[in-house]
Each structure stands twice: as structure tokens, then as C-alpha cells.
Amino acid sequence: SQQGEEDPQALSIQEGENATMNCSYKTSINNLQWYRQNSGRGLVHLILIRSNEREKHSGRLRVTLDTSKKSSSLLITASRAADTASYFCALFGSGANNLFFGTGTRLTVIP
């Protein structure tokens, strides 16, 4: 399968805590992307990490990539209620010409 698998499927935390979600995959990738989806809305691109990168930051987001373990993690620091959403990893495989999305992690941040 070219899809990523997110873990956990659902996560509930208190506002101010950090949230970590993981994505594991089985294929070789060119890059891995994280997207956010608010309920009933379209997805929004958050961050892209290329296969030759190990870590990227964007504001309160930190993404790591371990190609030897075929896994990535998304860390949201100092979470806010507005971070409540579903988060998806998407793989751009080597030799592919489109993205493959995982099933997502549903994050709930309790005020």
C-alpha cells in the first residue's frame, strides 16, 4: 500500500499541552506532507518534508522524518482549542505523480 497510517486514530488533550501524531508508511518517498481538515471543510496544507530532510519547523509545528524507520511525526506545541481538527499525512512516493493520504488523526483540544 502506498498510504500512510496515522497513529493514534484519535487524541484528546488539554489546551496548552503538546500533541504528537505519527505516520508510518511502507514505500519509498520523495516527500511527506501533513494536512489539516476542520470538520466538513477542505484540507489545508501544513508542512512538507523531503526525503533528505530530518526535521522541519513551522510556527508551533515540528515535523520529523525517519526514512530508515519509514515514519514521520507531527508535533503541535502549546495546543489551542482552535487546533481541534483531523490531521492527515500524505505521501508523494518515488516515481509517483500524485499523493496518497492516510486515514487521519482526530485531535480534540479541550479548553
User: Minimal distance in Å, beta carbon 90 to other proteins?
Assistant: 8
The torsion defined by the Cα of 92, 60, 54 and 25, in degrees rounded to 10, comes to: -40
User: Minimal distance in Å, beta carbon 85 to other proteins?
Assistant: 13
**Residue ranges in contact with other proteins by CB under 8 A:** 3, 30-31, 33, 35, 40-45, 48, 88, 90, 92, 97-104
User: Minimal distance in Å, beta carbon 95 to other proteins?
Assistant: 11
What's the DSSP call for residue 20? E
User: Minimal distance in Å, beta carbon 30 to other proteins?
Assistant: 7
Residue with cell 512516493: 93
Identity of the residue, 77 or 101, whose beta carbon is nearer to other proteins in the bound complex: 101
Identity of the residue, 15 or 108, whose beta carbon is nearer to other proteins in the bound complex: 108
Identity of the residue, 79 or 105, whose beta carbon is nearer to other proteins in the bound complex: 105
Identity of the residue, 40 or 59, whose beta carbon is nearer to other proteins in the bound complex: 40
What's the DSSP call for residue 103? -
Task: Report, in angstroms and rounded to the nearest whole number, the Rg of the chain calculated over CA atoms.
Answer: 13
Closest CA to 2 of 30, 22, 21, 36: 30
Residue 82, Cβ neighbours under 10 Å: how many?
A: 10
